Amino acid sequence: MLLTDRQLLILQVIVDDFIRSAQPVGSRSLSKKEEISFSSATIRNEMADLEEMGYIEKTHTSSGRVPSEKGYRYYVDHLLSPQALDQHDIKIIRSIFAGKIFEFENIIQKSAKMLSELTNYTSIVLGPAVSVNKLKRIQIVPLNKETAVAILVTDTGHVENRTFSLPASIDSNELEKTVNILNERLNGVPMDELHDKIYKEVASLLKQHIIHYDWFLQSIAETVKIPNTEKLFFAGKTNMLSQPEFHDISKVRNLLTIIDHEEWITDMIRSNSTGINVKIGSEIQNSIMENCSLITATYSAGSEKLGTIAILGPTRMEYSRVIGLLKLLSSDLSSALTKLYHYK
């Protein structure tokens, strides 16, 4: 059953008003708005219909109306006022990319910070999985007779390091040879294939040159196993506390607890589609996030998808503005990274 134009208008004004005020919207206050020309009684009738269809709800029998999840969903899908981004917002976002950009993490963290400051919601950026990057160089720096640091540099300039035990028997000559072999054989290999590749291609070579090679080999292979979880960057974790729907301590606690579980957040945010994605309330599939919405946008370098930017806020979120901001940021970020990594 389709909504009439008037119902659409009323739904839109209700959602807009509730997003702004966080207060249930009554027929009388609606009738006073300039975009609405009919009486409160008419509005009451229409609201009764909208409620019957599930787009709005009452908090109690004689209260004003509040958008339901279905209402928000409809609003986001069909009623979003054209996203004219604020000049100030644009300026702030652009400022992130003003200076020369060297490091990925830097710019990502800055993006997250700006987003959370602009919106006053929590922003989360999911970085690229290190595991898909390719090895540029491996280096082993002995610290003393028994331990050494292995350093892995990827083609994106990301550095991983890990300390491990050296075999007592090894000398610096052998170590150097090993490193050379490793670099020769492993250059350009994706990080998550290093472990296998070492056994397949490096083992035999190493055997010829190194005494006690087996234990050393295993040790290196183990060291090279980078956890393939994408790194998360947060900003504004506590912004939720200033939202009126979180004036209840226990809700806040639950929410912050979830936020501190990075693996859950990663699962929540990682998306296989590209572009903007809006999850409202129970669509997030997490009962504690029932009154939250999660808006995600993907970013990429060249044609390769790298990660996701997300904003977590109350269901009563400024969808229009947030979507606009995310679109802008993800596209700016993508082109910055494309340049940074010299994709064409």
Query: With binding defined as CB under 8 A, does residue 149 bind a second copy?
Result: yes
Instruction: Note every long-range contact of 63-68, with CB atoms under 8 Å and residues 24 or more positions apart, other chains counting.
Output: 63/24, 63/26, 64/23, 64/24, 64/25, 64/26, 64/27, 64/29, 65/14, 65/24, 65/25, 65/26, 66/18, 66/24, 66/25, 67/11, 67/14, 67/15, 67/18, 67/315, 67/316
Query: With binding defined as CB under 8 A, does residue 305 bind a second copy?
Result: no
* 202, β-bridge pairs: none
Query: With binding defined as CB under 8 A, does residue 200 bind a second copy?
Result: no
Q: Is the dihedral of CA 80, 86, 89, 91 positive or negative?
A: positive
Comparing C-alpha atoms, which of 70, 22, 9, 56 is closest to residue 318? 22
Query: With binding defined as CB under 8 A, does residue 162 bind a second copy?
Result: yes
Tell me whether residue 43 or residue 326 sits nearer to DNA (CB atom): 43
Q: Residue 290 Cβ, how far from a second copy at the closest point, in Å? A: 19
Query: With binding defined as CB under 8 A, does residue 225 bind a second copy?
Result: no
Q: Which of residues 19-48 bind DNA (CB under 7 A)?
A: 24-29, 38-42, 44-45, 47-48
Tell me whether residue 227 or residue 275 sits nearer to a second copy (CB atom): 227
Tell me whether residue 41 or residue 159 sits nearer to DNA (CB atom): 41
The tokens for 167 are: 């075999």
Binding-residue total with a second copy (CB under 8 A): 35
Query: With binding defined as CB under 7 A, does residue 60 bind DNA?
Result: yes
DSSP 230: P
- In the complex, the residues that contact a second copy under the rule CB under 8 A are 100, 102-103, 136-137, 139, 141, 143-144, 147, 149, 151, 153, 155-157, 159, 161-165, 237-238, 241-242, 246-247, 249, 252-253, 256-257, 260, 342
